[in-house]
Amino acid sequence: MKRAPSLFAYIPALFLSIFNLLPTEQASAQTGETYVDAMHARYKKNWYRTLSFTQDTEIYRNDSLIRKQVWYEMARFPFELRIDVDSINGGNKTFYKKDSTYRVRDNKIRTINAEPNPFIFFLGGMYMLSPDTVKLNLQKNGYDLALGSTTRYAGRKTFIIGAGNDNDSTRNQFWIDAEHLYIVRILLKSGNAILDVRLSDHVKLPKGWSETNVKFYRDGKLLQTEKYRDLKPDVVLGNDVFEVERYR
């Protein structure tokens, strides 16, 4: 009499079937580089090249509010950002141009520093650059693309680039929403401190997304809050907007 196969005989095949149905990120180990490639592939031709917006800014010291300002910001990716403080026609401005920062006070350049703004890259600059340039930039700035992991953040599945788990706050890293691939958190070392940037309330634009609420923490203490409004993507921003020589 032929014996019926044991239930255990089906387990390997059953396990293999279930494994093959898992999403790709579960079926194989993922790296930060994998997630960066996914972001770039999705948005390299579907992201705004310029963005202007008004920003309500609150600045804190030791978790206490010390100043409120309105910033008028204009970005032209991949390398340029202009911030006018309190008035678009006022005398206090900051220009970020690639690797340099120009601070204008009373319509005169007061300081020029070799101090790039890393957030221009994350705001949209990365989608105007080649994949290899993006990865080189990240590695140069201390993001280990060999490390990637998955967590839950703000109730949503989230990918981490630059850290092997969500408990490692000592590494430069950024977190992206697993569905939409926009950035929701950035952690980076700033001197001896850890800067924790939390981005939320994202809105869908004709191309890409934009956060509208940003909070900065240094070593766990609130440093600054930003609320964006009047977002205008892909407006014409000519060279004159970012011209700093007139302020010499």
Q: Are 141 and 134 in contact (CB under 8 A)?
A: no
At residue 44 the predicted structure's pLDDT band, cuts being 50, 70 and 90, is very high
CATH 2.50.20.10 assigned to domain 29-247? The reply is: yes
**Domains of the chain by residue range:** 29-247
Which whole number is the average pLDDT over 135-156?
A: 97
pLDDT in tens, 115-125: 889 899 999 99
What letter represents residue 171's amino acid?
A: R
CA distance 182 to 152: 15
For the chain, the first-to-last Cα distance in angstroms comes to 99
What letter represents residue 18's amino acid?
A: I
CA distance 115 to 108: 19
The pTM of this model reads 0.86
Residue appearing with tokens 């032209």:
76
144, 147, 149, 153 alpha-carbon torsion, rounded to 10° = -10
Residue appearing with tokens 């005989």:
9
